[in-house]
Chains A and B, each alone.
Chain A
Amino acid sequence: MHSIPSVRTYVIIWAILTIMTFVTYYVAQIELGAWNIVVALLIAFFKMMLVILFFMNVKAESPLTKLFAAGGFFWMVLLLGQFFIDYVSRTWMPEGKMW
């Protein structure tokens, strides 16, 4: 049905994922201010993409599957984004403005 990735490919992806786990763990110990969260989420996003494209084999799947996979993630972003339109623009938060 689709091309079957080799064992080598899978092991390499696994190695990258494990290395990125170490990286995110140690970077979290370093004080980067607001960048801590950005870096952590970027690394998590990158790891997610590896799992989706390779372990879940979406790289070899039809455009339709890719659309649904991307769409789901996008919809969650829509939810969070619209929540934040409210919360970020409030000026009366308990510990001051959120932003």
Chain B
Amino acid sequence: MAQQFDTATLGMWVFLLTEIMFFGGMFGAYTVYRGMYPGAFASTSQFMNPMFGAMNTAVLIVSSLTMALGVRAARLGLQKALQIFLILTMIFGLAFLVIKGFEYHEHWVDMKVPLIGGHWDYKEAPQFARQAQLLFCFYFFMTGFHALHMVVGLGLMTTIFVMARKGTFSAAYFTPVEISGLYWHFVDIVWIFLFPLLYLIGRTKALI
């Protein structure tokens, strides 16, 4: 069983490696464009809401705490605690998505959604309209793919919760909880980087 646990965790880490490279590609492209168009980038920061971003960061960090406590409960065979922590993690995950929804709605109202049929109007700084459209595309793709991973994470949590209710886990066998936890923490880490990159840098007059 120990070998199966080790095998499964190594497998999840290898999978997370692929996720790092997947997001890394997007980070790379975004960073290149940001460096290319510092003026346009500076103009976009007024439309980002760092308060939402910070709230989301805090929410995800708490969810990581409850997830870690949940994994710990699984290791100790504490069935009730495990279930409670899974529920809490899911609640915080949902809260993240809800806040994100508010945020996206704000962008929609502000006419800052540059997708087909979307609301796009860069009248506040028309000289940067084309490049800002590019940067906003990346904003939506990066947060969008991240949100997609959150949804998958919620699906994982639901599955684990159902398995926990059925008494599948014990101190001797909790591998699925552990590897789901790894996935969840990874999604948190992606956001830990997205938050400063997308929301914080450029709040001041600095162009970088």
A-B contact count (CB 8 A): 152
Q: Are B64 and A76 in touch, CB under 8 angstroms?
A: no
Interface SS of A by simple majority: helix
Which of B31-39, B95-103, B136-144, B154-162 participates in binding chain A? B31-39
DSSP class of B's interface residues: helix, strand, loop or mixed?
Answer: helix
The listed residue (A11, A36, A56) touching B204 by CB distance below 8 A is A36
Interface flags, A18-59, vs B, CB<8A=1, else 0: 100110110011111110110011011001100110111000
Min CB–CB distance A37 → chain B (angstroms): 5
Instruction: From the candidates B37, B50, B76, B185, name the one contacting A94 in the complex (CB within 8 A).
Output: B37
Binary contact track A69-99/B, C-beta < 8 Å → 1, others 0: 1011101100110011001100001110010
Asked if B123 is an interface residue, CB under 8 A from chain A, the answer is no
From B2, B57, B189, B206, A34 is in contact (CB under 8 Å) with B206
Give chain A nearest CB distance to B63 CB in angstroms: 10
Asked, given contacts A25-B50, A55-B68, A76-B24, whether A68 binds B10 with beta carbons under 8 Å apart, the answer is yes
Does B203 count as interface, using CB distance less than 8 angstroms? yes
